[in-house]
Amino acid sequence: MESAGRKSGGPLGWYFNTNLLIRILIGLGLGAVTGGILGSVLEGQQLASVLSVIRPFGDAFIRLLWMIMVPVIASTLIVGAASVSPKQLGKIGSRVLCIYVFTSFLAVGTGLSMGFLFRPSVELIGIATAADYTRVAPPLAQTLLNIIPQNIVTAAMHSPNLLGIIFFTLCFGTAIAMLRESGTERTKNAAETVFNFFDGVAEIMIKVVKGIMQYAPIGVFALLCVVFATAGPQVVGGLVMVIVTCFVAYIFYVVVWYLLICVRLIGGLSISKFVMGVKEAFVTGFVTRSSMATLPVTMECAAKIGLPKNVYSFAVPLGATINMDGTAIYQGAAVVFIATSVGHVLTPMDIGTVLIMATLATIGTAGVPGGGMLMLLMVLAQIGLPAEAGTAVAAAYAMIVGIDALLDMGRTGINVTGDLVYLSALTRRMGTLDMAKWS
Ligand code: ASP
């Protein structure tokens, strides 16, 4: 998401040449301070009229995120599914696929549990509109049925049925993957052309997301300014709690699930050797906040820890697209924060919906900075909490967006490490891990 080394000139050069992470944090700080000051010196009508000027700048950011969501999910998934060769998939491939999906589910559960344990929230009464509290999520059975869209065009239109889009694009991408290996030259060429087209679309969409993120510091400033002016400085505590909740969940998941259970117990491998072997991938993921950008380093680590080439050559890129445990943990914790902040009590049905939707969301998350934050919009919508501009849900979501860069570092580090954890435990059990690399 950073402006990748190229220096911009012109009057806004200073803006574009400053690291995006730093700009977002400055936007966050300035927004909080400005909002706090406005809230303490202005009152009633005066405050409302000043905020009515600032608010649209934040709403514009939320709208930009909604705007890009469908094209990003659709193109990422089509290319992701179409890249998996059915021949390569075979027995080991389907095992890898099941592990990736099952563990994402587990990671969402961890995020939700930590959310319930720490209960991060802010008091957003005053920003809320009555509508925020009266929305009713559809029953789980209906939500599941909605996975199959009746009409793919309407599914992508107003209040997009994102699950329907995910389902359709996965079918579409899988069909491309099959036809790319067809025996008929004409079909093969046609499938290749469609693949290249969507590959181009996906690249372009990621470029658009990068462009939108250049606006993030201003959007975050305006969104947080409104929150702080209306709800007061006490929201800082809630924000700190979200960071604490996510990082405790991340650390717990890595230490207990990854290292003790998967690496040591299931794989029977040395934890310290594993850590030494994968540290470059973790650190690169942490600093770049992109699983995709980290891919070459993850591949290198995969070779270093002795994974067989025929496994890691397809399972690591596949993992960079669909195996995102860090993102799953974040989704669970963020949903608890947002729901609690707007006074929405999560029912067992909501929790079931979040477990399924967030698992699907991680599959559709692009491995770029902020990809998970985009998908959080979808998960929230599925439990009847759409983050529409001007609502309390959007205000709570805005607070998450403000600190997203920090949360993204931890979750991306986990996302890239997860692939290596599962593949080493699996290949060790199958007897194909090169143990010479572990001595
Ligand atoms: N940045 C993450 C990744 O690339 C995705 C996310 O935002 O959750 O893995």
Tell whether the model's pLDDT for residue 4 goes beyond 70: no
Nearest to 50 by CA among 33, 61, 34: 34
Residue 218 confidence (pLDDT): 93
What is the 413 CA–ligand 1 centroid distance (Å)?
A: 9
How far apart are alpha carbons 406 and 345 in whole angstroms?
27
What is the 290 CA–ligand 1 centroid distance (Å)?
A: 6
Nearest to 421 by CA among 109, 115, 106, 84: 106
- Mean pLDDT value of segment 334-344: 91
Tell whether the model's pLDDT for residue 34 goes beyond 90: yes
Question: pLDDT per residue over 367-382, tens digit each?
Answer: 888 889 988 988 998 8
What is the 234 CA–ligand 1 centroid distance (Å)?
A: 29
Closest residue by Cα to atom 3, ligand 1, is: 367
If pLDDT is split at 50, 70 and 90, which confidence band does 276 have? very high
Ligand 1 pocket test, pick from 289, 298, 379, 414 with the greatest ligand atom count within 8 Å of Cβ, gives: 289
**Whole-model pTM?**
0.84
- HEC string of 153-202 equals HHHCCCCCCHHHHHHHHHHHHHHHHHHHCCCCHHHHHHHHHHHHHHHHHH
In percent, the amount of the chain with pLDDT more than 70 equals 92
The CB density around residue 424, as the number of other CB atoms within 10 Å, is 27
- HEC string of 341-397 equals HCCCCCCHHHHHHHHHHHHHHHHHCCCCCCHHHHHHHHHHHHCCCCCCCCCHHHHHH
Match 């592990």 to its residue by tokens.
Answer: 99
Q: Whole-number mean pLDDT of the chain? A: 87
- Cβ within 8 Å of residue 97, ≥6 positions away: 89, 318, 322
Q: Which two tokens stand for residue 438?
A: 């572990």
- Mean pLDDT value of segment 128-145: 58
Question: pLDDT per residue over 166-217, tens digit each?
Answer: 888 889 998 999 998 888 899 999 999 999 999 999 889 888 988 998 998 9
Closest residue by Cα to atom 1, ligand 1, is: 369
Which amino acid, one-letter code, is at 208? V
If pLDDT is split at 50, 70 and 90, which confidence band does 311 have? confident
Query: DSSP 3-state assignment of 339?
Result: helix
Residue 137 confidence (pLDDT): 56
Question: pLDDT per residue over 44-97, tens digit each?
Answer: 888 889 889 998 998 898 889 888 888 888 888 888 888 877 776 677 778 888
Tell whether the model's pLDDT for residue 282 goes beyond 90: yes
Residue 132 confidence (pLDDT): 47
Can you list the pairs that 273-277 forms with residues at least 24 positions away whose Cβ atoms lie under 8 Å? Answer: 273/305, 273/438, 274/305, 274/420, 274/421, 274/424, 277/301, 277/304, 277/305, 277/420, 277/437
Question: pLDDT per residue over 93-122, tens digit each?
Answer: 788 889 999 999 999 999 999 999 999 887
- Cβ within 8 Å of residue 134, ≥6 positions away: none
Question: pLDDT per residue over 358-367, tens digit each?
Answer: 998 888 788 8
Atom of ligand 1 minimally distant from the CA of 293: 4
Residues 40-63, buried b or exposed e (16+ Cβ, 10 A)? eeeeeeebeebbeebbebbbebbe
Which amino acid, one-letter code, is at 411? R
- Mean pLDDT value of segment 143-156: 77
Tell whether the model's pLDDT for residue 275 goes beyond 50: yes
Tell whether the model's pLDDT for residue 224 goes beyond 60: yes
Residue 338 confidence (pLDDT): 93
Residue 408 confidence (pLDDT): 94
Which ranges of 232-306 would DSSP assign to H, the alpha helix? 235-252, 271-288, 291-304
What is the 11 CA–ligand 1 centroid distance (Å)?
A: 32
In percent, the amount of the chain with pLDDT more than 90 equals 44
The CB density around residue 268, as the number of other CB atoms within 10 Å, is 10
- Cβ within 8 Å of residue 413, ≥6 positions away: 250, 282, 283, 285, 286, 326
Which residues form the pocket of ligand 1, taking CB atoms under 6 Å from any ligand atom?
Answer: 289-291, 324, 327, 365, 367-373, 408, 411-412, 415
Question: pLDDT per residue over 240-252, tens digit each?
Answer: 999 999 999 999 9
- Mean pLDDT value of segment 392-417: 90
Atom of ligand 1 minimally distant from the CA of 404: 7
